[in-house]
C-alpha cells in the first residue's frame, strides 16, 4: 500500500474499523473511502456493485459485520447468519470484479471448534463442532474465509483472512443486552459503583478462560499483515495469554474501584471453556502485541466513563 492508495474500510465506525482507520492515518494514509450503513447497506448486492464500480478502491479492509455477545448471538441467529453472509459475499465478490489489489477479511476466534485443543492453531478450523450459542456467526465467518480462498485459488486474488481474539477498545459496545464480556463488566461495575449497588452478578461460573487484545494492537497487526502477508486460510491475531472470567471480573472491579460483592450466576451459560489463540505464526513474521491488559482496560475505562 502507498500513502495515496485508495482504501475502503468497511465498518469504519465500529471498534475494529475505526482502529484500523486510526492506524493508517498514523502511517500517513489519507485516501479513504467510507460509507455509513445508512448510506450503503452492504447486504444490498446492487448497492454494493454500484459502490465498487463508482469508487474502485485499491485496497479493502472488510471489518463490517453484525456482532454481539452470547445473548445477541443466541437470540438473533437468523440475522447473524444472513446479514454476515450477505455483507461479506457482496464485498468480496465485487472487490474481485473491480480489480481490488488486496482485501483483508476480518473474522473471529469463534470460528474454531468448541472443544479444539488449546491454544487454537489455524489448522484446527473445521475439525470439530462449533459452540452452539454462536454457531450462525461462526459459520458465516468460516464461509468468508473459504470465499477469500476460493477467489485466491481460482483467480489469483490477494484476499487474506485474519482472526482476531476477543477485542476491547475505543468505540466498543457497552449495551448490556448485546455487548461482549469485557465492556459489559466495565459497564456493570461502573453503574454499580455509581448507584451504590451492593453486589454485581456475573454470568456463569467464572471459570472459562479468555484472551483479550486492545483494538489498537489489533489494528497494528492488520496494518502489518496487509503489507507483509499473503497466504490462504486464516491467521490468528492475539496476545497468546488468557485469564479466567472471574480474574477478569476482579481486575475490572479493581480498575473501577467497586467495593461490593461479586456473585456468579451458575444458571447462565459459560460458552466455550477456553479460547486461547496460538499466535506463533504471527510472532514468526515479526509482530507482537504491545499493550498490557490492565493498562489497556484502565485507558478504555477512563476514556469512556471518566472522560479523562
Instruction: HSE, CB side, 13 Å, CA atoms: give it for residue 173.
Output: 16
Distance CA 14, CA 172 (A): 7
Catalytic site residue from 59, 112, 137, 151: 137
Would you say 16 is a known binding-site residue? yes
Would you say 179 is a known binding-site residue? no
DSSP state of 32: E
Would you say 234 is a known binding-site residue? no
Would you say 203 is a known binding-site residue? yes
- Asked if 228 and 215 touch (Cβ cutoff 8 Å), the reply is no
- Asked if 120 and 109 touch (Cβ cutoff 8 Å), the reply is yes
The C-alpha cell that represents 51 in the structure block: 459502490
Would you say 12 is a known binding-site residue? yes
Would you say 300 is a known binding-site residue? no
**Cα–Cα distances in Å, from 126 out to 5, 104, 220?**
36, 21, 28
Please confirm, yes or no, whether 174 is among the known catalytic residues.
no
Q: Where are the beta strands (DSSP E) in 22-70?
A: 32-33, 59-62
Would you say 191 is a known binding-site residue? no
Rg over CA atoms, the chain: 19
Would you say 39 is a known binding-site residue? no
- Asked if 61 and 7 touch (Cβ cutoff 8 Å), the reply is yes
Would you say 161 is a known binding-site residue? no
Residue ranges of the annotated binding site for substrate are 188, 203, 210, 270
Residue ranges of the annotated binding site for NADP(+) are 11-17, 106-109, 141, 164-167, 180
Residue ranges of the annotated binding site are 11-17, 106-109, 141, 164-167, 180, 188, 203, 210, 270
Kindly list the catalytic residues: 137
Amino acid at each position: 500500500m502507498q500513502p495515496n492508495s485508495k482504501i475502503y474500510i468497511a465498518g469504519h465506525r465500529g471498534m475494529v474499523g475505526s482502529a484500523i482507520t486510526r492506524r493508517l492515518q498514523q502511517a500517513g494514509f489519507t485516501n479513504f473511502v467510507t460509507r455509513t450503513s445508512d448510506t450503503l447497506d452492504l447486504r444490498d448486492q446492487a448497492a454494493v456493485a454500484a459502490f465498487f464500480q463508482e469508487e474502485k478502491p485499491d485496497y479493502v479492509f472488510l471489518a463490517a459485520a453484525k456482532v454481539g455477545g452470547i445473548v445477541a448471538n443466541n437470540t438473533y441467529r437468523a440475522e447473524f447468519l444472513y446479514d454476515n453472509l450477505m455483507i461479506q459475499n457482496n464485498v468480496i465478490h465485487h472487490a474481485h470484479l473491480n480489480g481490488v489489489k488486496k482485501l483483508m477479511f476480518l473474522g473471529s476466534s469463534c470460528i474454531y471448534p468448541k472443544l479444539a485443543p488449546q491454544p487454537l492453531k489455524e489448522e484446527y478450523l473445521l475439525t470439530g463442532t462449533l459452540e452452539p450459542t454462536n454457531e450462525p456467526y461462526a459459520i458465516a465467518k468460516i464461509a468468508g474465509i473459504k470465499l477469500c480462498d476460493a477467489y485466491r485459488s481460482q483467480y489469483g486474488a490477494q484476499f487474506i483472512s485474519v482472526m482476531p481474539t476477543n477485542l476491547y477498545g475505543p468505540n466498543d459496545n457497552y449495551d448490556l443486552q448485546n455487548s461482549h464480556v469485557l465492556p459489559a463488566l466495565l459497564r456493570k461495575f461502573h453503574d454499580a459503583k455509581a448507584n451504590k449497588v451492593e453486589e454485581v452478578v456475573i454470568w456463569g461460573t467464572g471459570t472459562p478462560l479468555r484472551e483479550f487484545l486492545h483494538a489498537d494492537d489489533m489494528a497494528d497487526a492488520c496494518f502489518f499483515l496487509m503489507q507483509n502477508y499473503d497466504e490462504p486460510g486464516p491467521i490468528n491475531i492475539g496476545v497468546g495469554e488468557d485469564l479466567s472470567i472471574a480474574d477478569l471480573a476482579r481486575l475490572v472491579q479493581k480498575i473501577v474501584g467497586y467495593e461490593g460483592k461479586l456473585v456468579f450466576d451458575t444458571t447462565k451459560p459459560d460458552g466455550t471453556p477456553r479460547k486461547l489463540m496460538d499466535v506463533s505464526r504471527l510472532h514468526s513474521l515479526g509482530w507482537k502485541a504491545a499493550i498490557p491488559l490492565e493498562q489497556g482496560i484502565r485507558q478504555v475505562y477512563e476514556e469512556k466513563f471518566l472522560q479523562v
